[in-house]
Amino acid sequence: MTLRVLTVDDSRTILAMLHHTLSNAGFEVLQAEDGKQGLDVLMSHDIDVVITDINMPVMDGIEFIKNVRASGQYQSLPILILTTETSQDKRDQGKAAGGTGWIVKPFDPDKLISVIHRVVH
């Protein structure tokens, strides 16, 4: 079964790199440029795992995760936080909001895939 990944980031570069890496690894990739778009996509598609940036316009990653978790439907949806933050801060905030794990940018393709497999059946 092809896993469907929703990637949410306001940086086109990061979206492009994620898309490339993930689709090469056989994932189906959907994209959104901020949390709000992310929610829209989530609601209209069956998503297996979400990768989201934290700093985004309109709706940031923390808000996005909170919104996702607030809906009963998505409690078991794995959400990975993309972060360049080394400070534990952002990571903790993301986790507190309901993030499953995190990926530190710049990410290595293999590592990215292995992290996804770590949170998805």
Partner 1 sequence: MSDLDDFKATYFDECSELMNELEEQFAAIEGGERDADRLNAVFRAIHSIKGGAGAFGFSGLVGFAHAYETLLDYVRDGRVEMTDDVVSLCIRANDIVGDYINAAQSGEELAADYGQEEKQRFDAIARGQRGGDEDEWSGEIIEEFDIEFTPVRVELAVDDGDVVEAVEAPVAAEPDTFDAPPMPVEPGHWEVRFTPYRQLYSRANDPLLLFRELAALGEINVRAILTDIPALSDFEPFGVYCSWEISLFAPDLTESAIREVFEFVDGDCSIEVVPLGHVVPPAAAPAPAPVAVVQPAKADENLMALTEDEVAAAPVRLVAEAPSAPVAAEPVAEEPALSFADLANEISASAPPRPVPQAAAPKPAAAPKPAAGGEGGEEGGNRAVGVQSIRVDLDKVDRVVNMVSELVITQSMLTQQMDENLRARYTELVRGLEVLAQTTRGLQDSVMAIRAQPVKSVFSRMPRLVRELATKTGKKIKLETIGENTEIDKTVIEQLSDPLTHMIRNSADHGIEDPEKRKSRGKSEIGTIRLSAEQAGGNILIIVEDDGNGINRERVLQLARDKGLVAPDITPTDEQIDQLIFAPGFSTADAVSDISGRGVGMDVVLSNIKKIGGSVHVRSWTGKGSRVTLRLPLTLAVLDVMLVKVGESPYVVPLSSIVETMQCSGAIFERVPSGGQVLQVRGEYVQVIDVAQRFGMHSNKAPDDRFVVLCESEGSQKVALVVDDIIGQQQVVIKSLEENFEQVEGIAGGTILGDGNVALIVDVQGLRVHQIHQNAA
Instruction: Provide the Cα torsion 78, 72, 56, 37; round to 10°.
Output: 100
- Residue 39 to residue 23: CA distance in whole angstroms: 21
* Biggest alpha carbon–alpha carbon distance for the chain: 37
Alpha-carbon span 12 to 111, nearest angstrom:
21
Q: Interface mask (CB under 8 A) for partner 1, residues 48-87, using x and -?
A: -------xxx-----------x-xxx-xxxxx----x-xx
Site for partner 1 in 25-54 (CB under 8 A): 28, 30-33, 37, 40-41, 43-46
**Residues of this chain that bind partner 1 (CB under 8 A):** 10-14, 16-17, 20, 28, 30-33, 37, 40-41, 43-46, 55-57, 69, 71-73, 75-79, 84, 86-87, 95, 98-102, 104-111, 118-121
